[in-house]
Amino acid sequence: MTREVLAFLQPEKGGVFVDCTVGMGGHALAMLKAGATRVIGLDRDPAALAIAAETLSAYRDRVELVHSDYRAMASVLDARGIERVDGALADLGMSSYQLEAEGRGFSFQREDPLDMRMDTTSGPTAADLLKEASESEIADAIYQFGEERFSRRIARSIVQARESVPLETTTQLATVVRRAIPRRGFTRIDPATRTFQAVRIWVNRELENLDEFLDMVTRRLKTGARLVVITFHSLEDRIVKHTLRALAQRDDARIRVLTKKPVTPGPDEVERNPRARSAKLRAAECVG
């Protein structure tokens, strides 16, 4: 949704912009080409940052890439003596690169180590969590983050399976999940999809402090600057929607919401990139 991002952020006016989830650098590159004076790009994934460095190499004097969680944006700005910025983008969720890269464990389409960490330098892997967590903790995570109605049945199967052999690969987990869910004819979505989403969110704490991040980033915007957030599943979008609305309704409101309804990709973009079909964009502007 590059065109929509640029339309809201207006980097052609110049200034300092933060790409809170720079990924491979596509949005940052578009901002720089449009006229952004400087872009600070954050990402938890060291491999993605390496690709972004190549993507943005022609603009190395105007871009800085930082290995950091987007929720640490305030600390990153403070370390650089930047009080407020001219715009911020948070493109949440998993990138196509992460899904397709071998050895990351995000996809059940092939056998990989059961990792799922966006930041491969720290934190427990999916295999670690599924090995140590109790049955109730696993069930709660799958239900909360995957909205999977068979979460307890799946959790029970995971615990039973790990008693015989450690769950260490994507295919092992997918097989356990598929066997745990009752078959009811053809389904368009693979039975393992919701569980893999849930475990990934659990491993990366994707929803943790998202509301606090939104509050913080609106405090770091200059008057007239804008925040754009792109989500890819209903849990994230719900938090973004309600948090931005609440911030805009406060007596001392600093923002106004620019998107009464989320902006979604057009049919041309979905045809080019089917994974974009679930994207929802929301934007807000700092009013003081």
**Mean pLDDT, the chain, whole residue set:** 94
Quickly state the pLDDT bin for 272 (edges 50, 70, 90).
Answer: confident
Quickly state the pLDDT bin for 214 (edges 50, 70, 90).
Answer: very high
2-93+207-286 and 108-204: same fold? no
Alpha carbon distance 255, 221 (integer Å): 9
CB 40 within 8 A of CB 16: yes
User: How high is the pLDDT of residue 288?
Assistant: 82
Domain assignments of the chain as residue spans, ordered by start: 2-93+207-286, 108-204
User: How high is the pLDDT of residue 148?
Assistant: 96
User: How high is the pLDDT of residue 101?
Assistant: 85
What pTM did the predictor assign?
A: 0.92
Residue 155 is which amino acid?
A: A
Tell me the per-residue pLDDT of 18-49, one tens digit each, with 9 for 90 and over.
999 999 999 999 999 999 999 999 999 999 99
CATH T-level assignment (fold) for domain 2-93+207-286: Rossmann fold (3.40.50)
Cα-based angle 279, 209, 264 (whole degrees, multiple of 5): 10
Q: Which residues are CB-contacts of 120 (< 8 A; sequence separation ≥ 6)? A: 45, 46, 47, 104
Alpha carbon distance 163, 22 (integer Å): 40
Quickly state the pLDDT bin for 185 (edges 50, 70, 90).
Answer: low
User: How high is the pLDDT of residue 160?
Assistant: 97
Q: Give the chain as a 3 state SS string.
A: CHHHHHHHHCHHHCCEEEECCCCCCHHHHHHHHHCCCEEEEEECCHHHHHHHHHHCHHHCCCEEEEECCHHHHHHHHHHCCCCCEEEEEEECCCCHHHHHCCCCCCCCCCCCECCCCCCCCCCCCHHHHHHHCCHHHHHHHHHHHHCCCCHHHHHHHHHHHHHHCCCCEHHHHHHHHHHHCCCCCCCCCCCCHHHHHHHHHHHHCCCCCHHHHHHHHHHCEEEEEEEEEEECCHHHHHHHHHHHHHHHHCCCCCEEECCCCCECCCHHHHHHCHHHHHCEEEEEEECC
Phi and psi torsions of 40, nearest 5°: -105, 120
Q: What is the mean pLDDT of residues 188-210?
A: 93
Quickly state the pLDDT bin for 186 (edges 50, 70, 90).
Answer: low
Alpha carbon distance 63, 12 (integer Å): 16
Tell me the per-residue pLDDT of 56-92, one tens digit each, with 9 for 90 and over.
999 999 999 999 999 999 999 999 999 999 999 999 9
CB 196 within 8 A of CB 114: no
The residues pairing with 228 across neighbouring beta strands, listed in sequence order, are 89, 283
- Res 187 pLDDT > 90: no
Phi and psi torsions of 61, nearest 5°: -80, -10
The residues pairing with 39 across neighbouring beta strands, listed in sequence order, are 17, 63
- DSSP strand pairing (280-286 vs 221-231): antiparallel
Q: What is the mean pLDDT of residues 117-126?
A: 95
The tokens of 40 are what? Answer: 């600070």
Q: Output the CATH code of domain 108-204.
A: 1.10.150.170
